[in-house]
Amino acid sequence: MSGDCDFGLIGLAVMGENLALNVESRGYKVAVYNRTTSKVDELLAGRAKGKNFVGTHTLEEFVAAVARPRKLMMLVKAGPAVDALIDSLIPLCDEGDILIDGGNTYYVDTEERTKRVEAAGLLYVGAGVSGGEEGALKGPSLMPGGTEAAWPHIKDMFQAIAAKVGPNDDIPCCEWVGPRGAGHYVKMVHNGIEYGDMQLICEAYQLLHELGGLSNEELYDVFAKWNEGVLQSYLIEITRDIFSAKDDQGGDGYLVDKILDVAGAKGTGKWMSQLALDLGVPSTLVTTAVFARGLSAQKEARTRASKTLNGPSDSLNPEMSALAKKLTGDKQAFIDAVHDALYASKIVSYAQGFVQLQAASAEHDWKLDYGQAALLWRGGCIIRAQFLDRIKEAFGEQPDLENLLLYPYFEEAVENAQAGWRAVVSAASLLGIPVPAFSAALNYFDGYRLERLPANLLQAQRDYFGAHTYQRVDREGTFHSEWLDLRKQP
Ligand code: 6PG
């Protein structure tokens, strides 16, 4: 038996509820189900009152309420809960029905589930959904992948609910990404880039606050200005706003100053880092951002260490001190240098993210369209930014572009930002302020642009102690040397 709902949504936490409301608002009839069924009743009596919703209290009722081929989306905690739901839904569904997972699922699970659900005669979609609560309600970025035959059935609805960009606000931030786990992989890289962006912004904040002496009011003004230029983005915008938020617990001053400096994480940045290691691609911005969160979480250890470990203030010699002063002394020049460091580092971070996407696409034969990925992130999601237009343009012109740093627009942008970037990293180092992401980005840039790195010595060491062999610059082949015989005798 099937009903007349166009769409079914399982999981009425805030994201699910908002997404269901979004779908209904575009003229679709929506069936909803939640394991704690009182949530269904609350929604129907509250925000969905008078709207085109059908509330259901069992999975049987839920599946029966939706028209075939059914489009059933799960927005539940990623992990075993999704498998349990799939197992319960398969026997209730008919051939050709579509199961959609909108959670932050590990892509390997989506690869496996796509095959499992297809084997049961259904279609499976793993859709990255970004944009937080507001995005879910008003227009998220959607990154669907899985069984391609599902796309014609869900395309209109997904593109209707997605964020729109472009001069006429009519280009949806939703396109088919690729087979199996491709959509969730792209979403994971989005999150990894989000980690990098956030860490870079936090480093800019610490520098401006501690070395530049900027107050929250001044930081608000700086971020407001930055948001009108090349750094324009959602994350810069919300950071600006954070600097203006007063304590909501009745205390004096600003809320940001009252927040414990211990970062949380749900795991997508860690996944991207682990997968970068597996692929052998140096996605150093995300790994650095993950480790920076890890160090922040060691609050008690840091508090103990802060009482004994000294920074450069105790040992800085006069020349270093003068140089540091020169680099930070002119307030506006320092703000501009931090801007440039942030911009150049951000370019490196995105360049690394796309290199990882390319490597993953090759490994899994996903045939990802990188310009399209940039477009999907152009609106609705957490990393939305004007600058993604340029990335779209870059891959539009050169679909096989090896690295974004080689695209003339970004090459020039980094060139122009380089002096400020180096000054900031130097000043931070001289004055003992950690800038792990700014420096990781700069080190990647310097490593990437050098034809010769010291890995010749590394290969010699490996061959010396383990006969791991090496190649030569002047002749073909694989070589091993008897280093003990070749060395200078002690
Ligand atoms: C989004 C966000 C979303 C969420 C992450 C945060 O695109 O809407 O990326 O997925 O904010 O779960 O992850 P952490 O808790 O690891 O920072």
Q: Which ligand 1 atom lies nearest to the CA of residue 128?
A: 7
Torsion, CA 337, CA 343, CA 346, CA 350, rounded to 10: -150
Per-residue confidence (pLDDT) for residue 251, from 0 to 100: 87
Residue 141 β-bridge partners? 130
Per-residue confidence (pLDDT) for residue 327, from 0 to 100: 86
Which of 75, 185, 190, 268 most suits a substitution to test ligand 1, by most atoms within 8 Å of the C-beta?
A: 268
What distance in Å separates the CA atoms of residue 283 and residue 419, rounded to the nearest whole number?
Answer: 23
Query: Which parts of the chain sit beneath pLDDT 50?
Result: none
Q: How far is the CA of 266 from the centre of ligand 1 (A)?
A: 7
On whether the CB atoms of residues 275 and 356 are closer than 8 A, the answer is yes
Ligand 1 contacts CB of residue 381 (under 6 A): yes
Residue among 17, 194, 203, 346 flagged as catalytic? 194
Per-residue confidence (pLDDT) for residue 157, from 0 to 100: 98
Per-residue confidence (pLDDT) for residue 315, from 0 to 100: 65
Q: Tokens 């800085």 appear where?
A: 316
Ligand 1 contacts CB of residue 132 (under 6 A): yes
The model's pTM is 0.96
Per-residue confidence (pLDDT) for residue 1, from 0 to 100: 66
- The DSSP line for 183-245 is HHHHHHHHHHHHHHHHHHHHHHHHIIIIIS---HHHHHHHHHHHTTTTT-BHHHHHHHHHTTP
Q: How far is the CA of 194 from the centre of ligand 1 (A)?
A: 8
Q: Which ligand 1 atom lies nearest to the CA of residue 269?
A: 16
> What values do phi and psi take at 9, rounded to 5?
-130, 130
Q: Which ligand 1 atom lies nearest to the CA of residue 198?
A: 17
* Residue bearing the CA closest to ligand 1, atom 12: 266
Q: Kindly state the DSSP code that residue 479 receives in the 8-state scheme.
A: B
Per-residue confidence (pLDDT) for residue 287, from 0 to 100: 98
What distance in Å separates the CA atoms of residue 33 and residue 55, rounded to the nearest whole number?
Answer: 6
On whether the CB atoms of residues 120 and 96 are closer than 8 A, the answer is no
Burial class (CB in 10 A: 0-12, 13-18, 19+), 304: exposed
Q: Which pair of tokens denotes residue 3?
A: 């009903």
What distance in Å separates the CA atoms of residue 424 and residue 220, rounded to the nearest whole number?
Answer: 20
Ligand 1 contacts CB of residue 268 (under 6 A): yes
Which of 137, 184, 188, 191 most suits a substitution to test ligand 1, by most atoms within 8 Å of the C-beta?
A: 191
Per-residue confidence (pLDDT) for residue 2, from 0 to 100: 77
Per-residue confidence (pLDDT) for residue 321, from 0 to 100: 83
Task: Let me know if 71 is a catalytic residue.
Answer: no
Task: Let me know if 115 is a catalytic residue.
Answer: no
